[in-house]
Amino acid sequence: MADISYRDAVTIALREALREDDRMFIMGEDIGLYGGPYAVTKGFVEEFGRERVIDTPISESAMVGAGTGSAMGGMHPVVEIMTINFTLLAMDQIVNHAAKLRYMSAGQYTVPMIIRTVTGGGAQLAATHSQSLEGWFASVPGLKVVTPATPYDALGLFRSVRNEQDPVIFVEHILLYSTRGEVPDDHYLVPLGKADVKRRGDDLTLVAYSRMVQVALDAAEELAGRGINAEVIDLRSLRPLDIGTVVESVKRTGHAIVVEEAWRTGGFGAEIASQIQEQAFDHLDAPIGRVAGAEVPTPYSQPLEMLAIPSLESVVAAVESALGR
């Protein structure tokens, strides 16, 4: 087992893919000579050349459109969108074209394109660069949305994503790049649509994804000191969604709280809560709780930004309220 950073895990995944798949290339803004805005592709252009590591103009719609067309033609593109906020400039290409071409062509065309992008706040980048929009894409049939929370999952999920014939939104949280974790030396895969129980517990189920998994785990440790044993489930992917693992846990604990960084109104947490209610209603001992981002554009001020994002304290308070403590 090697202890590596989340950033290193993504770098390993990309380098491995380029070495093993001649059809694969990556393109995005500043990913070549600059080494990537998050230093993920540092040294790639020297190793693989400019035909496979392509610096693009600042035009997300052109990048995703070119990726879609090349995927239809037999290539395996990885398109890096600097932040998920900028996917709004390519929404038509992603939602109306890449996601639907396989269906509308009756399977004559597939779009095995991977769109890597960065989500979340906490880096003091203000309102237009700190949004969590992955739930929007998870509502679109034809897209798959992957949200790894650990180095292990980032590497294992990317390996699995390479086998997909549908476009995948591979979402990396900006504050996770420096986090570390153990990764096996031997080759392994993490399947899409399989949630992971990151911490076992009997009193309540915490459901989270991306960086909120770390927040939920920290809250669970704090709660353990207060005599509350919380189970933490990492969804890993939003589409496909493994609601079965969540429901099984809730049926055992009798309580559920969904934690996400996106805004509460219209957030993906509402979908999770709805499916729990539909499938585990008779097992619930209290209403399903939700902890989400504040209903404001993300503030630039760091203290205000931290107040707008779910924290250990807000999760602990929600758990104690749900349990009547």
Residue 148 sits in the same domain as residue 215? no
- State yes or no: pLDDT of 314 exceeds 90: yes
Residue 174 sits in the same domain as residue 202? no
- State yes or no: pLDDT of 325 exceeds 90: no
**Per-residue pLDDT tens over the stretch 232-258:** 999 999 999 999 999 999 999 999 999
Task: Using alpha carbons only, give the angle 82, 86, 89 rounded to the nearest 5 degrees.
Answer: 135
pLDDT value for 180: 98
CATH number of the domain at 215, please. Answer: 3.40.50.920
Residue 49 sits in the same domain as residue 117? yes
Residue 171 sits in the same domain as residue 206? no
Q: What is the DSSP letter of 89?
A: G
- State yes or no: pLDDT of 1 exceeds 90: no
CATH number of the domain at 36, please. Answer: 3.40.50.970
AA letter at 137: F
Of 229, 190, 230, residue with least CA distance to 207: 230
Coil, strand, or helix at residue 114? strand
Residue 134 sits in the same domain as residue 269? no
Average pLDDT over residues 163-178: 98
Sign of torsion, CA 290 291 295 298?
A: negative
| DSSP E strand boundaries for 15-67 | 24-28, 53-55
In the chain, the percentage of residues whose pLDDT exceeds 70 is 100
**Per-residue pLDDT tens over the stretch 130-156:** 999 999 999 999 999 999 999 999 999
Residue 50 sits in the same domain as residue 13? yes
Question: Which residue numbers are catalytic?
Answer: 60, 129
The continuous run of DSSP H or E covering 306 comes out as helix 302-308
- Is residue 69, in this structure, part of any structural domain at all? yes
φ, ψ for residue 176 (rounded to 5)?
-90, -15
- Is residue 277, in this structure, part of any structural domain at all? yes
**Per-residue pLDDT tens over the stretch 28-62:** 999 999 999 999 999 999 999 999 999 999 999 99
Sign of torsion, CA 280 170 72 58?
A: positive
**Per-residue pLDDT tens over the stretch 180-196:** 999 999 999 999 999 99
Spatial distance between the Cα atoms of 73 and 68, rounded to a whole number of angstroms: 9
Tell me what the pLDDT averaged over the chain comes to: 97
Residue 70 sits in the same domain as residue 144? yes
CA 56 to chain centre: 24
Sign of torsion, CA 249 240 117 164?
A: positive
Which of these three, 140, 160, 183, is where a domain ends? 183
Domain that holds residue 143: 2-183
- Is residue 159, in this structure, part of any structural domain at all? yes
Tally of domains within the chain: 2
For residue 33, what are the CA distances in angstroms to 28, 83, 290? 12, 19, 43
Residue 82 sits in the same domain as residue 168? yes
pLDDT value for 115: 98
- Is residue 188, in this structure, part of any structural domain at all? no
Which of these three, 183, 210, 230, is where a domain ends? 183
Which of these three, 183, 205, 227, is where a domain ends? 183
Residue 174 sits in the same domain as residue 133? yes
- Is residue 220, in this structure, part of any structural domain at all? yes
